[in-house]
Structure 1
């Protein structure tokens, strides 16, 4: 796909993702739609209102009515879309830096549009084939009150409130100034938790930290856990579809470890779990232990959700899916990443154990990620050619090319692939020792940098 990558389309706002671009995308969506109205939401980014106005204009110009939800988490827009039976457009750049923004397309079932549907939108967009209706057929525009509260109430009805309340937990919460600042504090308090917060003021400048919930951005959360004697820390990204955890000592929990713990509580023999090609050995081990199958996809929530739907259509039971970046999916709840729901499901695990004890069986692996930026398409192609040659020379590893180039060494693996949202080639590595993982990642990354330089 030229426009929509692994999770929507993103870029620097007002440079790559401009109001004109957003309007064109919305007109294309409005042209291929079957429903008469669509929902539009946004996260807290400074450019969100500007782009939402452009999206609403494009949809109206194509004859579609618009339900404006205002600032909501992405999973709140998805829940509204599913409940109302309307498609949606979310204006968000998720975990990307403040200067970025983007568009994510959601179907009337509340699920991110699959690849074939995105390609239909792209064909209209790139072919300049968008429809334009007469003045008296343009769409109407209305604001929807209470969308955030409706979302919180749906969450409250989907988790074990009694089990969580009985745990008597203090939760340290870092919504990162994003959309989750308007929903997650109330949600966890209504679950019976004592909630203390940092970076909980909605602010599109993201003054306290960058939106990506990674340890280098979450030092304040670790300090808050220790200062408040919290049982767990929870962090979101900009649109709150991810949850990353800190244990009761204020130390970060690897996202792959929390994913494995959540998966172990869900999976039974004969089930199927779905993850991306950068899947951790932790999840591989869980699936082998319980007798579940593991399906791998290219990286990105769009690919994972499409595969879940395909497996459901084939009669498979898929109780858990996602990635080790905090984006966990519980398909029996919704085929959507939902940071607040994932956080609550983790709290359920803490009814009879500490956070560190919950993930202890999945310790022992170290992860490293290195980004190798590129300037233009020619440089990107040169980097990928080097990655292919490097991978093919690794005679002592098993090569997988589902998405990029993954080398499995039995005790460790390394993967190089182009990002779907940023101009970088990402190099991931995992091993039982930090030095082994670092050597694998640095070796692959250095080969790429040499080609670029």
Structure 2
């Protein structure tokens, strides 16, 4: 039988885009995952990246209950097409992506990232890095042949190969001095993050005194952009009981970081990104339009580029920066994911570019910046222009409903009719991604449907922490009323 990817998207309910495949775990059947994997590999064949000569396809996954089954379906598709599936085990998304880039092979990560474990996903990486927006149409238009009985019987995954995980750890331990974090006391909130043990190994290997915290045998959907109240309370509790310089964590597939200050207050990802870029000596920074405007206000970076939300857009912008002649090209997102598109000089060596979200480099950079500046993490924040952001989401909010709400705000008058009593008159509106409204007070309200889950996200920016949290509560109340 023949299947067209875009038709399978409609019939299965499993979306396929630049973030890969995402959907309910029960709807991500072996057949759907097999078809999507074949479509992706067929596309790479057409692009001349692979040619059915037994090339390796690296496969890894997170710790969700459904991940093992989906990894097997992915591996079976690769094997049936004449490729050699490499079982990299349960390792971070940036680890398997790094392996693919260094070894010039496709890399596939089975993960739902930060979303609940009743859902899952497959993130596809080309040998050159992430799938970009320009690749999307070519993938979804693929026609896949599924032979009768192709999925009959069991499929045995290859024996786990530790090389990809080892290479990711070595990326840091081979570049940074083994005592560069000596004297620093770090808590690492492990929960159900796939990189929980690997991250301990890295930071201990760089000389830090590490205390593992909060291991969980069940999956916890830690969202670094909409931090759960439980995780806010846990960090403050741990900080109060122990003399940590910082607490570190990641989301489920360990590509988005969390870092707290010494009091256990989590830093926003778009603040962490500014500090990391500062330490790394970046001259060009690409970041989505939703991120904190303190970036421009610092005056630290020669070239600042604003993009749509999503790592493919950040990567495309970083590519343009390289073409324009920038030498230290980085990018980051509001979720804290940090990307590099230049080889960066570091301790007399060269840290190779990794143009995909990474959770280790930004938090390591912030701690090293605190050492360099002889300041606490909270002390680093005082060097920044005082702009504060907050974000939240309404779950189980259909994308069509989100789009309908945004559509009603056709002009400033329509916005002021709903939000004017709380936020004042409108200064400007930006539709780069969703709807970003700047009020005359320079306060910001940004509304956007999630691209990979039935969620409506709301971002705010103001001149004080108290005010931005007040804005966030008010905006969420209004949005819930609009939902009806």
TM-score normalised by the chain length of structure 1: 0.87
In 2, Cα distance between equivalents of 1:389 and 1:19: 46
Aligned mate of 1:143, from 151, 159, 162 = 159
Deviations 1:63-102 (A, max 9, x none): 3221110101001101111121101110011111222210
Q: Is the 8 A contact 1:6 1:303 kept in 2?
A: no
Residues 35, 146 of structure 2: 8 Å contact kept: no
Residue 310 of structure 2 corresponds to 300
Q: 1:183 to 1:353 in 2, by over 3 A?
A: same
Once the two structures are superposed, residues 271-297 of structure 1 have per-residue CA deviations (whole angstroms, 9 ceiling, x without a partner) of 3210001010221212xx135221111
Matches of 2:170 and 2:432, distance apart in 1 = 39
In structure 2, runs of 5+ residues without a counterpart are 1-5, 10-14, 344-352, 417-424
5 Å matches for 1:306-385? Answer: 306-331=316-341, 332=343, 333-351=353-371, 352-362=374-384, 364-373=386-395, 376=398, 378-385=400-407
8 Å CA contact 2:279–2:365 kept in 1: the answer is no
CA RMSD of aligned residues (A): 2.8
1:55 aligned to which of 66, 69, 74: 74
- Counterpart check, 1:425 vs 2:456: yes
Query: How far is 1:402 from its partner?
Result: 0.8
1:195 maps onto 2:203 in alignment: no
| Matched position secondary structure for 1:199 | strand
| Higher RCO, Cα 8 Å, sep 6+ | 1
Query: 2:349: which partner in 1?
Result: none
Aligned CA distance change for structure 1 residues 250 and 449 (closer, same or farther; 3 Å): closer
Partner of residue 386, structure 1:
408
- Deviation beyond 4 Å, 4+ runs, structure 1: 130-135, 373-378, 387-395, 438-448
In 2, distance between residues paired with 1:389 and 1:198? 48
Q: 1:281 is matched with which residue: 287, 293, 305?
A: 293
* Residue 106 (structure 1) aligns with: 125
- After superposition, the Cα gap between the structure-2 partners of 1:253 and 1:452, relative to the gap in structure 1 and judged at 3 Å, is closer
Equivalent position of 1:408 in the other structure:
438
List runs of 5+ in structure 1 lacking aligned partners: none
CA distance in 2, matches of 1:380, 1:62: 40
The answer on whether the counterparts of 1:234 and 1:246 sit within 8 Å (CA) in structure 2 is yes
Shift of residue 424 of structure 1? Answer: 1.8
**How many residues of Structure 1 are paired with residues of Structure 2 in the alignment?**
435
Partner secondary structure for residue 118 of structure 1: helix
Partner of residue 192, structure 2: 177
2:139 to 98, 113, 121: 121
Q: Which residue is equivalent to 2:29?
A: 18
1-structure distance, mates of 2:263, 2:286? 31
Q: Secondary structure at the match of 2:144?
A: coil
Distance in structure 2 (CA, Å) of the matches to 1:367 and 1:210: 22
Q: Distance in 1 between matches of 2:236 and 2:481?
A: 37
Moved more, 373-382 or 39-48: 373-382
1:216 to 2:229 alignment: yes
Deviations 1:386-430 (A, max 9, x none): 244578645632111111111123622111111012112211111
Q: Counterpart of 1:317 in 2: which secondary structure?
A: coil
Within-5 A mapping of 1:18-97: 18-34=29-45, 35=50, 36-97=55-116
CA displacement, residues 354-409 of structure 1 (integer Å, 9 cap, x when unaligned): 11112222373332324245654543442332244578645632111111111123
- Secondary structure at 1:336 match in 2: coil
The whole-number CA distance in structure 1 between the counterparts of 2:96 and 2:178 is 23
The answer (yes or no) to whether the contact 1:115–1:303 under 8 Å persists in 2 is yes
